[in-house]
Amino acid sequence: MQTITYRQALNETLRQELRRDPDVMLMGEEIGVFEGSYKVTAGLLNEFGPKRVLDTPIAEEGFVGMAAGAAMLGLRPVVEIMTINFSLLAIDQIVNHAAKIHYMFGGQASVPMVLRTPGGGGIQLAATHSQNFEAWYAYVPGLKVVVPSTPYDARGLLRSSIRDNDPVIFIENLALYNTKGEVPDESDDNDYTVPIGVAEVKREGTDLTIIAYSRMTVLALDVARRIEDEEGISIEVVDLRSLRPLDRPTIIESVKKTGRAVIIEEDWHSYGIGAEIAATIQEQAFDYLDAPVRRVAGVEVPLPYAKVLERAALPSDKHLTKAIRETMQGVRR
């Protein structure tokens, strides 16, 4: 095994897939000469040339639509949108076209396209550059939405996404790019993939289940380890990894085992992924619950620029710890 950053895992996987399949191509703003705003595409233009690594104009609707058309004709475009906030400019192409073409043409055409985009807050990019819109895309039949939390999952899920015949929204949290984790050495890699739609129990426990995804999985694991060491509470952590399709059986089996559930997400509290999971638990595991399901999420305000206010608006280890303790005590909100 080797230890690499989340950014390196993405970069190496893009390189491997470009080498493996001549139909794979990259496109996006400044991904070539500038090597991407977050350097995920560093070195790829030099190796593969401008026909396979395309710098696009600042016109999200145009180049996402172009990618959908290219995918219909047999290519496998991987589109980088600089942040998920800018995907709103292309939402018609994503939701009304890419997501529906396979269905509306009776299966005669597919759109094997990946839309890579970072989201999330915490690095002072202010209200219009720090949002979490994963719930919007997870709502849409015809799209797949993945949210890896580790370099291992980022590599395995990106491979699966590129090889999938449906459009995939691949969301990378900005604060994860420099985090590190183990992946197999390239010589031992064996071309592994992580299946889309399969959650993973990242940590076994018996007293309470935390359900998380993306950066919140990292936070949840840290809190779970600390609380067990300090208070003896055994906490299981389920990493969703995919939001559509959603692995409901893994969630339910974990909650049935522990009898308590806390859901943590970085996006806003109302109408979010956490609400969907809480409803699922209520519908399928109500009789197993020893306490109400708790949700930890962002404060419902445009994310402030000022660091102290930004931290106050985002879910933190203190918020999660408080929710765990109250759930263990059976406290109702």
pLDDT grade for 331, boundaries at 50, 70 and 90: low
To the query of whether residue 172 is one of the catalytic residues in this protein, the response is no
Catalytic residue among 29, 97, 129, 310: 129
Average pLDDT rounded to a whole number, residues 34-39: 94
Asked if CATH classification 1.20.1730.10 holds for the domain at 200-328, the reply, yes or no, is no
Provide the whole-model pTM: 0.95
Residue 85 CA to residue 99 CA, distance in Å, equals 19
Average pLDDT rounded to a whole number, residues 148-169: 98
Average pLDDT rounded to a whole number, residues 263-291: 97
| pLDDT of 333 over the 70 cut | no
| pLDDT of 264 over the 80 cut | yes
Q: What is the pLDDT of residues 15-29, one digit of tens each?
A: 999 999 999 999 999
Q: What is the pLDDT of residues 166-216, one digit of tens each?
A: 999 999 999 999 999 999 987 766 789 999 999 999 999 999 999 999 999
Q: What is the pLDDT of residue 191?
A: 87
User: Of all residues in the chain, what percent carry a pLDDT higher than 70?
Assistant: 98
What kind and span of H or E run contains 244?
strand 242-244
Helix (H, G, I), strand (E, B) or coil at 122: coil
Task: Please count the other Cβ atoms lying within 10 Å of the Cβ belonging to residue 286.
Answer: 10
To the query of whether residue 35 is one of the catalytic residues in this protein, the response is no
User: Do 2-188 and 200-328 agree at the fold level?
Assistant: yes
Catalytic residue among 60, 172, 236, 265: 60
Average pLDDT rounded to a whole number, residues 31-43: 95
Q: What is the pLDDT of residues 65-102, one digit of tens each?
A: 999 999 999 999 999 999 999 999 999 999 999 999 99
What are the sequence ranges of the domains in the chain?
2-188, 200-328
Amino acid 294 reads R
CATH number of 2-188: 3.40.50.970
| Burial track 97-113 (b if 16+ CB lie within 10 A, e otherwise) | bbbbbbeeeeeeebbbb
Task: Please count the other Cβ atoms lying within 10 Å of the Cβ belonging to residue 188.
Answer: 10
